Amino acid sequence: MVSSEVSGFYKMTVDERLNFVKEFSRLSDDDIRILRTNGSLAIDKADKIIENVITTIEMPLGIAVNFLINGKDYLIPMAIEEPSVVAAASNAAKVARKSGGFNAYATEPVMIGEIQVLGIDSLYLAKMNILRDKSRILELANTRSKTLSSLGAGAKDIEVNVYERPHRMLIVHLIVDVRDAMGANVVNSMCEYVAPEIEKITGGRVNLRILSNLTKYRVAYASAVFSKDIIGKEAVDNIVEAYRMAVVDIYRASTNNKGIMNGIDAVLVATMNDWRAAEANAHSYAALEGYGPLAKYEKNSNGDLVGTIEIPIAVGTVGGTTGSIDKARIARKILGVSNATEFAGVLAAVGLAQNFSAVRALATEGIQRGHMELHARNLALSAGASPEEVDSVVNEMISSKEITMSNAIKILEKMRKTK
End-to-end C-alpha distance for the chain, whole angstroms = 46
Residue 225 is predicted with a pLDDT of 98
**pLDDT, mean of residues 400-418:** 89
- What's the pLDDT tens digit per position in 7-22? 999 999 999 999 999 9
**pLDDT, mean of residues 276-300:** 98
Residue 258 is among the residues annotated as catalytic for this protein: yes
Contacts of 114 (CB under 8 A, 6+ apart): 171, 172, 173, 174, 191, 208, 209, 210, 211, 212
Residue 377 is predicted with a pLDDT of 79
Residue 390 is predicted with a pLDDT of 87
Q: Of residues 45, 258, 283, 299, which has the active-site annotation? A: 258
Number of residues that this document lists for the chain? 419
**pLDDT, mean of residues 118-122:** 97
Q: Of residues 114, 177, 180, 274, which has the active-site annotation? A: 274
SS3 111: strand
Residue 229 is among the residues annotated as catalytic for this protein: no
Confidence band of 324 (pLDDT split at 50, 70, 90): confident
Residue 164 is among the residues annotated as catalytic for this protein: no
Lowest mean pLDDT among 67-76, 103-112, 360-369, 398-407: 360-369
Rounded CA-CA distance 238/278 in Å is 29
Contacts of 166 (CB under 8 A, 6+ apart): none
**pLDDT, mean of residues 77-94:** 95
Average pLDDT of the residues of the chain: 94
Q: Of residues 371, 373, 402, 410, which has the active-site annotation? A: 371
Name all domains of the chain by residue range, CATH numbers in brackets. Answer: 9-49 (no CATH), 61-105+218-366 (3.90.770.10), 110-212 (3.30.70.420), 369-418 (1.10.8.660)
Residue 373 is predicted with a pLDDT of 67
Phi, psi of 417 (to 5 degrees): -65, -40
Q: How far is CA 99 from CA 96, 103, 145, 230, 364, in A?
A: 6, 11, 44, 10, 21
Rounded CA-CA distance 227/338 in Å is 31
DSSP summary character for residue 219: E
Asked if pLDDT for residue 365 goes beyond 80, the answer is: no
Confidence band of 387 (pLDDT split at 50, 70, 90): confident
Q: Of residues 31, 82, 157, 159, which has the active-site annotation? A: 82
- What's the pLDDT tens digit per position in 215-267? 999 999 999 999 999 999 999 999 999 999 999 999 999 999 999 999 999 99
How many CA atoms are closer than 13 Å to the CA of 36, on its beta-carbon side?
13
Rounded CA-CA distance 181/169 in Å is 30
Rounded CA-CA distance 335/330 in Å is 9
How many CA atoms are closer than 13 Å to the CA of 368, on its beta-carbon side?
4
Residue 398 is predicted with a pLDDT of 84
Q: Which of 191, 195, 199 is nearest to 111 (CA)?
A: 191
Residue 82 is among the residues annotated as catalytic for this protein: yes
Confidence band of 322 (pLDDT split at 50, 70, 90): low
- What's the pLDDT tens digit per position in 186-222? 999 999 999 999 999 999 999 999 999 999 999 999 9
Q: Are 394 and 407 in contact (CB under 8 A)?
A: no
SS3 content of the chain, % helix, strand, coil (to 5): 50, 20, 30
